[in-house]
Protein backbone atom coordinates (compact mmCIF):
# COMPACT_ATOMS: atom_id res chain seq x y z
CA UNK A 1 0.00 0.00 0.00
CA UNK A 2 1.30 3.45 -0.90
CA UNK A 3 2.10 5.36 2.29
CA UNK A 4 -0.99 7.43 2.99
CA UNK A 5 -0.91 10.84 4.64
CA UNK A 6 -3.64 11.03 7.25
CA UNK A 7 -4.66 14.01 9.35
CA UNK A 8 -6.65 13.96 12.59
CA UNK A 9 -8.48 17.17 13.49
CA UNK A 10 -8.74 17.10 17.27
CA UNK A 11 -5.81 14.69 17.39
CA UNK A 12 -4.70 15.61 20.90
CA UNK A 13 -7.90 14.26 22.47
CA UNK A 14 -7.90 10.77 23.97
CA UNK A 15 -9.73 9.20 21.02
CA UNK A 16 -7.62 11.10 18.51
CA UNK A 17 -4.42 9.88 20.18
CA UNK A 18 -5.66 6.29 20.17
CA UNK A 19 -6.38 6.34 16.44
CA UNK A 20 -3.12 8.19 15.79
CA UNK A 21 -1.20 5.30 17.38
CA UNK A 22 -3.21 2.76 15.38
CA UNK A 23 -2.53 4.51 12.07
CA UNK A 24 1.18 5.09 12.79
CA UNK A 25 1.59 1.42 13.73
CA UNK A 26 0.10 0.55 10.32
CA UNK A 27 2.45 2.70 8.28
CA UNK A 28 0.48 5.93 7.84
CA UNK A 29 2.13 9.33 7.88
CA UNK A 30 0.01 10.98 10.59
CA UNK A 31 -0.48 14.69 11.18
CA UNK A 32 -2.63 16.20 13.90
CA UNK A 33 -4.20 19.57 14.49
CA UNK A 34 -5.75 20.75 17.71
CA UNK A 35 -5.90 23.77 19.98
CA UNK A 36 -2.33 25.04 20.29
CA UNK A 37 -0.77 22.97 17.48
CA UNK A 38 1.32 24.61 14.75
CA UNK A 39 -0.49 22.55 12.14
CA UNK A 40 -3.89 24.07 11.36
CA UNK A 41 -7.14 22.36 10.43
CA UNK A 42 -6.91 23.98 7.01
CA UNK A 43 -3.42 22.52 6.41
CA UNK A 44 -4.69 19.06 7.33
CA UNK A 45 -7.53 19.19 4.80
CA UNK A 46 -5.39 20.76 2.08
CA UNK A 47 -2.53 18.26 2.30
CA UNK A 48 -3.82 14.89 3.57
CA UNK A 49 -5.16 11.90 1.65
CA UNK A 50 -7.43 11.03 4.58
CA UNK A 51 -8.98 13.35 7.17
CA UNK A 52 -10.51 12.22 10.46
CA UNK A 53 -12.63 14.60 12.56
CA UNK A 54 -12.34 13.87 16.28
CA UNK A 55 -14.09 16.88 17.83
CA UNK A 56 -17.12 17.29 20.16
CA UNK A 57 -20.46 16.15 18.75
CA UNK A 58 -22.07 19.58 19.01
CA UNK A 59 -19.46 21.22 16.73
CA UNK A 60 -18.53 18.36 14.37
CA UNK A 61 -20.87 19.35 11.52
CA UNK A 62 -19.93 23.03 11.70
CA UNK A 63 -16.18 22.24 11.79
CA UNK A 64 -16.55 19.97 8.76
CA UNK A 65 -18.55 22.55 6.79
CA UNK A 66 -16.03 25.30 7.57
CA UNK A 67 -13.25 23.18 6.03
CA UNK A 68 -15.04 21.90 2.91
CA UNK A 69 -13.54 24.63 0.66
CA UNK A 70 -10.13 22.96 1.22
CA UNK A 71 -11.28 19.39 0.52
CA UNK A 72 -10.51 17.60 -2.75
CA UNK A 73 -12.05 14.65 -4.55
CA UNK A 74 -9.23 12.14 -3.96
CA UNK A 75 -9.64 12.33 -0.18
CA UNK A 76 -11.62 10.30 2.29
CA UNK A 77 -13.35 12.17 5.11
CA UNK A 78 -14.17 10.32 8.35
CA UNK A 79 -15.67 11.30 11.68
CA UNK A 80 -15.86 9.65 15.12
CA UNK A 81 -19.07 11.07 16.55
CA UNK A 82 -21.71 9.15 18.51
CA UNK A 83 -24.39 10.68 16.26
CA UNK A 84 -23.87 10.11 12.58
CA UNK A 85 -26.43 11.93 10.42
CA UNK A 86 -25.38 15.59 10.99
CA UNK A 87 -21.68 14.84 10.46
CA UNK A 88 -22.28 12.62 7.43
CA UNK A 89 -24.65 15.16 5.87
CA UNK A 90 -21.89 17.76 6.23
CA UNK A 91 -19.18 15.52 4.73
CA UNK A 92 -21.47 14.57 1.82
CA UNK A 93 -21.47 18.22 0.70
CA UNK A 94 -17.91 17.56 -0.52
CA UNK A 95 -16.81 15.45 -3.50
CA UNK A 96 -14.78 13.23 -1.17
CA UNK A 97 -15.18 9.64 -0.18
CA UNK A 98 -17.19 9.59 3.08
CA UNK A 99 -16.94 7.07 5.91
CA UNK A 100 -18.79 7.75 9.17
CA UNK A 101 -17.33 5.93 12.17
CA UNK A 102 -18.51 5.38 15.73
CA UNK A 103 -16.17 3.46 18.05
CA UNK A 104 -18.40 1.74 20.62
CA UNK A 105 -15.65 2.00 23.23
CA UNK A 106 -13.57 4.59 24.99
CA UNK A 107 -9.86 5.16 24.41
CA UNK A 108 -8.18 1.82 25.09
CA UNK A 109 -4.91 0.10 24.36
CA UNK A 110 -6.68 -3.17 23.53
CA UNK A 111 -8.86 -2.90 20.42
CA UNK A 112 -9.49 -6.62 20.03
CA UNK A 113 -13.20 -7.57 19.96
CA UNK A 114 -14.22 -3.92 20.29
CA UNK A 115 -17.08 -2.84 17.99
CA UNK A 116 -16.77 0.05 15.57
CA UNK A 117 -19.84 1.07 13.56
CA UNK A 118 -19.09 2.10 9.97
CA UNK A 119 -21.40 4.07 7.67
CA UNK A 120 -20.16 3.68 4.09
CA UNK A 121 -21.92 6.74 2.69
CA UNK A 122 -19.71 7.36 -0.37
CA UNK A 123 -17.48 4.38 -0.95
CA UNK A 124 -14.39 4.27 -3.16
CA UNK A 125 -11.08 2.46 -2.71
CA UNK A 126 -10.01 4.05 0.60
CA UNK A 127 -13.08 2.83 2.51
CA UNK A 128 -11.93 -0.78 2.04
CA UNK A 129 -8.42 0.08 3.22
CA UNK A 130 -9.69 1.48 6.53
CA UNK A 131 -12.28 -1.19 7.22
CA UNK A 132 -9.70 -3.93 6.57
CA UNK A 133 -7.28 -2.11 8.89
CA UNK A 134 -9.86 -2.07 11.71
CA UNK A 135 -10.59 -5.77 11.20
CA UNK A 136 -6.85 -6.55 11.15
CA UNK A 137 -6.57 -4.74 14.52
CA UNK A 138 -9.16 -7.17 15.88
CA UNK A 139 -12.18 -4.89 15.88
CA UNK A 140 -15.69 -6.02 15.00
CA UNK A 141 -16.91 -3.80 12.15
CA UNK A 142 -20.67 -3.26 12.17
CA UNK A 143 -21.99 -1.77 8.91
CA UNK A 144 -25.00 0.57 9.18
CA UNK A 145 -26.47 3.65 7.55
CA UNK A 146 -26.62 6.95 9.42
CA UNK A 147 -30.38 6.91 10.09
CA UNK A 148 -30.37 3.36 11.48
CA UNK A 149 -27.27 4.12 13.56
CA UNK A 150 -28.84 7.16 15.20
CA UNK A 151 -32.05 5.26 15.91
CA UNK A 152 -30.12 2.47 17.61
CA UNK A 153 -27.93 4.91 19.56
CA UNK A 154 -31.01 6.68 20.92
CA UNK A 155 -31.69 3.37 22.70
CA UNK A 156 -28.23 1.89 23.32
CA UNK A 157 -26.73 5.15 24.58
CA UNK A 158 -29.46 7.77 24.90
CA UNK A 159 -32.12 5.84 26.81
CA UNK A 160 -29.54 3.95 28.89
CA UNK A 161 -27.75 7.14 29.92
CA UNK A 162 -31.06 8.91 30.54
CA UNK A 163 -32.13 6.23 33.02
CA UNK A 164 -28.77 6.29 34.79
CA UNK A 165 -28.75 10.09 35.11
CA UNK A 166 -32.34 10.16 36.40
CA UNK A 167 -31.51 7.41 38.89
CA UNK A 168 -28.50 9.33 40.20
CA UNK A 169 -30.44 12.59 40.33
CA UNK A 170 -33.25 10.96 42.34
CA UNK A 171 -30.70 9.48 44.76
CA UNK A 172 -29.22 12.93 45.31
CA UNK A 173 -32.67 14.32 46.17
CA UNK A 174 -33.36 11.44 48.59
CA UNK A 175 -30.18 12.47 50.44
CA UNK A 176 -29.07 8.89 51.06
CA UNK A 177 -25.58 7.87 52.16
CA UNK A 178 -24.52 5.76 49.20
CA UNK A 179 -21.97 3.83 51.25
CA UNK A 180 -24.76 2.83 53.62
CA UNK A 181 -27.03 1.89 50.71
CA UNK A 182 -24.34 -0.26 49.09
CA UNK A 183 -24.16 -2.27 52.31
CA UNK A 184 -27.62 -3.59 51.47
CA UNK A 185 -26.83 -4.63 47.88
CA UNK A 186 -26.34 -8.09 46.44
CA UNK A 187 -23.72 -8.47 43.65
CA UNK A 188 -26.29 -7.87 40.88
CA UNK A 189 -27.40 -4.56 42.38
CA UNK A 190 -23.79 -3.61 43.11
CA UNK A 191 -23.14 -4.02 39.36
CA UNK A 192 -26.11 -1.81 38.56
CA UNK A 193 -24.89 0.91 40.93
CA UNK A 194 -21.36 0.59 39.53
CA UNK A 195 -22.59 1.08 35.94
CA UNK A 196 -24.53 4.20 36.97
CA UNK A 197 -21.49 5.49 38.87
CA UNK A 198 -19.30 4.84 35.82
CA UNK A 199 -21.52 7.02 33.64
CA UNK A 200 -21.77 9.78 36.24
CA UNK A 201 -17.98 9.79 36.73
CA UNK A 202 -17.45 10.97 33.15
CA UNK A 203 -17.75 14.21 31.17
CA UNK A 204 -21.22 15.75 31.55
CA UNK A 205 -20.74 17.71 28.32
CA UNK A 206 -20.29 14.53 26.27
CA UNK A 207 -23.45 13.00 27.73
CA UNK A 208 -25.34 16.24 27.12
CA UNK A 209 -24.39 16.07 23.43
CA UNK A 210 -25.49 12.42 23.18
CA UNK A 211 -28.88 13.31 24.66
CA UNK A 212 -29.43 16.70 22.99
CA UNK A 213 -27.99 16.22 19.49
CA UNK A 214 -29.52 12.88 18.45
CA UNK A 215 -32.50 13.67 16.16
CA UNK A 216 -34.29 10.46 17.26
CA UNK A 217 -33.96 11.07 21.01
CA UNK A 218 -37.22 12.97 21.50
CA UNK A 219 -39.41 10.20 20.05
CA UNK A 220 -37.63 7.54 22.15
CA UNK A 221 -38.06 9.56 25.34
CA UNK A 222 -41.76 10.08 24.62
CA UNK A 223 -42.18 6.30 24.61
CA UNK A 224 -40.11 6.00 27.78
CA UNK A 225 -42.21 8.68 29.45
CA UNK A 226 -45.44 6.85 28.60
CA UNK A 227 -44.04 3.61 30.03
CA UNK A 228 -42.91 5.40 33.21
CA UNK A 229 -46.31 7.01 33.72
CA UNK A 230 -48.16 3.72 33.21
CA UNK A 231 -46.03 1.85 35.74
CA UNK A 232 -46.38 4.66 38.30
CA UNK A 233 -50.18 4.49 37.93
CA UNK A 234 -50.13 0.71 38.46
CA UNK A 235 -48.02 1.05 41.59
CA UNK A 236 -50.14 3.89 42.99
CA UNK A 237 -53.33 1.87 42.46
CA UNK A 238 -51.70 -1.32 43.84
CA UNK A 239 -52.84 -3.14 40.70
CA UNK A 240 -50.89 -6.41 40.99
CA UNK A 241 -52.47 -8.05 37.95
CA UNK A 242 -51.79 -4.93 35.88
CA UNK A 243 -48.20 -4.90 37.15
CA UNK A 244 -47.68 -8.54 36.16
CA UNK A 245 -49.09 -7.88 32.68
CA UNK A 246 -46.83 -4.81 32.35
CA UNK A 247 -43.81 -6.87 33.50
CA UNK A 248 -44.58 -9.62 30.99
CA UNK A 249 -44.95 -7.05 28.19
CA UNK A 250 -41.54 -5.66 29.14
CA UNK A 251 -40.04 -9.16 29.11
CA UNK A 252 -41.16 -9.64 25.48
CA UNK A 253 -38.47 -7.15 24.42
CA UNK A 254 -35.87 -9.65 25.65
CA UNK A 255 -37.47 -12.73 24.12
CA UNK A 256 -34.66 -15.02 22.98
CA UNK A 257 -32.09 -13.19 25.13
CA UNK A 258 -33.18 -14.13 28.65
CA UNK A 259 -30.97 -17.23 28.91
CA UNK A 260 -27.96 -15.36 27.54
CA UNK A 261 -28.62 -12.49 29.96
CA UNK A 262 -28.80 -14.85 32.94
CA UNK A 263 -25.59 -16.65 31.93
CA UNK A 264 -23.68 -13.40 31.36
CA UNK A 265 -24.78 -11.81 34.61
CA UNK A 266 -24.07 -15.05 36.51
CA UNK A 267 -20.46 -14.88 35.25
CA UNK A 268 -20.26 -11.23 36.26
CA UNK A 269 -21.69 -12.00 39.73
CA UNK A 270 -19.14 -14.78 40.16
CA UNK A 271 -16.29 -12.43 39.16
CA UNK A 272 -17.45 -9.84 41.72
CA UNK A 273 -17.97 -12.48 44.43
CA UNK A 274 -14.48 -13.91 43.82
CA UNK A 275 -12.77 -10.54 44.35
Q: Within this chain, do residues 130 and 158 fall inside the same structural domain, yes or no?
A: no
Q: Is 172 exposed, middle or buried (0-12, 13-18, 19+ CB in 10 A)?
A: exposed
- pTM more than 0.85: yes
Residue ending a domain, among 144, 164, 194, is 144
Q: How many domains does the chain have?
A: 2
Q: Within this chain, do residues 124 and 206 fall inside the same structural domain, yes or no?
A: no
Q: Within this chain, do residues 76 and 178 fall inside the same structural domain, yes or no?
A: no
Q: Is 168 exposed, middle or buried (0-12, 13-18, 19+ CB in 10 A)?
A: middle
Q: Within this chain, do residues 250 and 176 fall inside the same structural domain, yes or no?
A: yes
Q: Within this chain, do residues 239 and 205 fall inside the same structural domain, yes or no?
A: yes
Q: Are 214 and 162 in contact (CB under 8 A)?
A: no
Residue ending a domain, among 112, 144, 176, is 144
Q: Within this chain, do residues 135 and 152 fall inside the same structural domain, yes or no?
A: no
Q: Within this chain, do residues 53 and 170 fall inside the same structural domain, yes or no?
A: no
Residue ending a domain, among 144, 174, 196, is 144
* pLDDT < 70 stretches in the chain: 1-2
Q: Within this chain, do residues 137 and 154 fall inside the same structural domain, yes or no?
A: no
Q: Give the per-residue pLDDT at 2.
A: 61
Q: Within this chain, do residues 34 and 157 fall inside the same structural domain, yes or no?
A: no
Tens-digit pLDDT profile for residues 204-243: 999 999 999 999 999 999 999 999 999 999 999 999 999 9
Q: Are 124 and 63 in contact (CB under 8 A)?
A: no
- Residue 77 CA to residue 127 CA, distance in Å, equals 10
Q: Which CATH number fits the domain that encloses residue 22?
A: 3.40.50.720
Of the candidates 166, 138, 142, 167, which has an alpha carbon nearest to the alpha carbon of residue 153?
Answer: 142
Q: Within this chain, do residues 103 and 86 fall inside the same structural domain, yes or no?
A: yes
Q: Give the per-residue pLDDT at 29.
A: 95
Domain that holds residue 20: 5-144
Q: Give the per-residue pLDDT at 224.
A: 96
Q: Within this chain, do residues 12 and 137 fall inside the same structural domain, yes or no?
A: yes
Q: Within this chain, do residues 90 and 184 fall inside the same structural domain, yes or no?
A: no
Amino acid sequence: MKKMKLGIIGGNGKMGKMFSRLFKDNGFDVLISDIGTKTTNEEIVKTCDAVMFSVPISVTASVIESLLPYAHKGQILMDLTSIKKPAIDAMMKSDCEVLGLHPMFGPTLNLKKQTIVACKEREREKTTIFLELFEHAGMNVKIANAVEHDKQMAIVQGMTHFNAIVFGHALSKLELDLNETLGFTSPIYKMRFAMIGRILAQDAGLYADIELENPVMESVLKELDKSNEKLIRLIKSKDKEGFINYFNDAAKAFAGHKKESMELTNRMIKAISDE
